[in-house]
Amino acid sequence: MNARGGPAGRSVGGAVGGAVGRSVQEQAALRLAAGRARAGDLMPYLGDALYAVKAVATTAIPTVGIDTRWRMHYNPEFILTLDVPEVVGVWLHEVGHPLRGHHERFDALAEPAERHPLFNQAGDCTINEDLRAAGVRLPAVKAWYAERVPGADAGMTAEQIYRLLVAGPAGQRLAAASPALLLLPAALRHDHGVPVRVVAHARDAFLTGPAEVVVSGPGGGVRTGPVAVHDQRTATFEVLERLPAGEHAVDLTCAGGTASATLTVTAPTIALRPDHLPRRRGAREKVVVAGRGTRFIGASVVELLDADGTVLDAVSDVVHVGATHLTFTAGPVPDGAHVVRVSTGEEVVRAVLPVGLPHLDLSPARLPSGHAAPTPLAGVGDDVSFDAASTAQVLDAAAGLAPVAGATGPLTVPGPGVVNLELTRTLADGQYLMVVSTAGERAAAVLTVGGARPVPAAPRPVPAGYDDCGSGAGGPHRPWEGDPGGRDADGEDDGSVDAGRAELIRQQTARNVLEHARSRGPVPAGWQRWADRTLAPVVDWRRELLSVTRRVSAHVAGMRDYSYARPSRRSSATPGVVLPAMRQPRPPRAAEVVDTSASVTEDMLGRVHAETEAIVRRCRGAGVQVIACDAAAGRARLVRRVQDVPLVGGGGTDMRVGIAAAAALRPKVDLVITATDGDTPWPAEPPRENPDATYVVLLLDGDREGVPGWMRKIVVERDRTGGR
């Protein structure tokens, strides 16, 4: 039952969803069961995978994540903020990660472990694209789609989208140097007590004598106690007064050396799902309130205020899900900027709720200090359509929203609700308003650059549950995931899925997908492609390459023709008439474009040597012209020994320039082989300079989508010894 307050607001009832006497975990388990059953009805071909997942309740994460053992960890309070159709979306999204092998695929990239959140986002894009095509409703969170990644297109692989994210601001932040000083704790609650003892660990051994510490932040200097030096890298000190919310710079000095770090004090906040209500909304919309740094109680009051601060009588059905989640229903309200206010008895927290206003979801919404220029951005509009006449402006909040001259270049519109643009200059630290104007409307988003102080920051782990679907989506084992070997507290098998069973589930699910597509109806294109690749027979790539080179050699050998360069010996029988002689076949001419970008590992480049050796043998001494290519093509080098192959590069990836360089070689080559990991844009059609050559792609890191049909694709599969 819900206890309602007066017209000033609505207070929270004590029961969750009206189920008196039933625990939060029991109710969440029932809702999960209903969602799994409906998910199996909606996509029956995924049934084997869905029912192989083991659901595990936990409060260690705020939402949901899945691990490599197919255990889906869920926060019961979060599940109870969703209706059953949204729970269906949770199931289908999470099971998509282990089915598509995202953990194994991230490991195969041999990328730094701290980049796993970017691969998680890339995998989310590919999964959510298929769910959207199938009409599946996801929870009202900022779900990742390809249009949210600058430069990404629908149909790209997770690896291709990942490369775009790595090259963007998020990748730059993760690649930043570790801080010179680590603090424990590195963050405090706004209501922390005093004194607070802080441990400082320096990267360099410079603490050789007495040391001093200075803490400064939004409110100025902060009183601290004396510094105790324990060894050359470790010291402790005490903060003697309560710190205001914000970021505080900590400088530790000893014998002229200084190391710096940031101490963060969190303020109580709330986040709304959804964070805006569009014009095309229903008469009643459910809104979820998630608390961060605050705790809700049964007597909490939820209010909806207009821009003038007037409390609207538009809040009903308030449900106290738990200490960190509330839900309420927003009734009819006029368009404009509104505020949701929650009073917990001890504190009052607020969040802005735009209603019926053009909304721009900007990615990335935060850039590091001194960001590169140009910097690509992507915007997704709600209640607004973009076109070629749309324009973008950057407004400086610190200068009274004055336009920043020359901050943006021309924008492109991949779709009616999507806009891609570039920041053409580096912005100073601060907050800006990115405004895209179209057809008399202005969609806006906040763009934040830098922080309170440009102190180098270590790659922070993404908060569990936010853009973190667990190790099943890539990356290391998470602390909240339980035993990685699948054992329970008593050391017994917990019934989760090991690697062997996972592969059997993938094979069976792929068969189910293809059978469903043949006999029962269409399936999303991404799942169709996945099933085809999963069940495709593995052909020895070496034999396939040898077959192609043999065919090219036979074709060139059959291109014998008559030539007047050397007269025929039979000319003596026809005085006054010069007869041509038959020209003998020549060896085939071949060129190889080798991907030497940063995404290609030493192991892959080693395989290029072996593959080139086979090509050189087929050319019978004529040699092979090798072009090293990353984002630019190097000079072609004629090699007659595999040891002569030049492999230099290490930048971005664009095989189009390498293929164009091979096509422009003179004399024309008969065979162009591109050896790459496949995370590259491709030319749409054969190069005009040499359209008759045979073009082959060697994919060194598994199959990739997007290779054009006019190129022969050969996938270099892993050997049983572990190579590929």
pLDDT in tens, 420-435: 999 999 998 888 989 9
At residue 501, φ and ψ (nearest 5 deg) are -65, -35
pLDDT in tens, 609-632: 666 666 666 665 566 888 888 778
User: What is the pLDDT at residue 311?
Assistant: 93
Q: Would you say residue 277 has pLDDT above 80?
A: yes
Residue 690's Cβ-count burial label (10 Å; 0-12, 13-18, 19+) is buried
Query: For residue 464, which amino acid is it?
Result: A
Architecture of domain 191-266: Sandwich (2.60)
Q: Is the pLDDT of residue 289 over 70?
A: yes
Confidence of residue 69 (pLDDT cuts 50, 70, 90): very high
Instruction: Name the pLDDT band for 537 (thresholds 50, 70, 90).
Output: low
Q: Say yes or no: do domains 191-266 and 359-449 share a fold.
A: yes
pLDDT at 440 over 70: yes
Structural domain spans, the chain = 24-176+461-476, 191-266, 268-355, 359-449, 541-558+584-715
Residue 508, pLDDT above cutoff 90: yes
Q: What is the mean pLDDT of the segment spanning 170-195?
A: 78
- 544 against 502, higher pLDDT: 502
Q: Residue 500 pLDDT more than 70?
A: yes
Nearest to 483 by CA among 39, 18, 54: 54
Q: Which CATH class is domain 359-449?
A: mainly beta
Q: What is the pLDDT of residue 642?
A: 52
Top CATH class of 268-355 equals mainly beta
Inform me whether the pLDDT recorded for 361 exceeds 80: yes
- pLDDT confidence tier of residue 665, bands split at 50, 70 and 90: very high
Average pLDDT, the chain: 83
Q: What is the pLDDT of residue 111?
A: 80
- Could you tell me the two tokens for 328? 């309420």
- Going from the C-alpha of 173 to that of each of 183, 248, 459, the distances in angstroms are 19, 20, 7
pLDDT of residue 722: 33
Q: Which residue intervals of 393-488 are DSSP H helices?
A: none
Give the mean pLDDT of 158-170. 85
Nearest-5° Cα angle at 409, 405 to 413: 135
Q: Does the pLDDT at position 459 exceed 60?
A: no
The winner for highest mean pLDDT among 93-107, 134-148, 574-588 is 93-107
Tokens of 199: 């441990």
Between residues 376 and 537, the one the model is more confident about: 376
Q: What three-state secondary structure class fits 255? A: coil
| pLDDT reported for residue 602 | 62
- Name the token pair of 247: 């970021």
CA–CA separation, 228 vs 328, rounded Å? Answer: 51
Q: What is the pLDDT of residue 371?
A: 83
Instruction: Give the pLDDT score at 203.
Output: 83
Q: Which fold has domain 541-558+584-715?
A: Rossmann fold (3.40.50)
CA distance 266 to 246: 7
pLDDT: which is higher, 574 or 509: 509
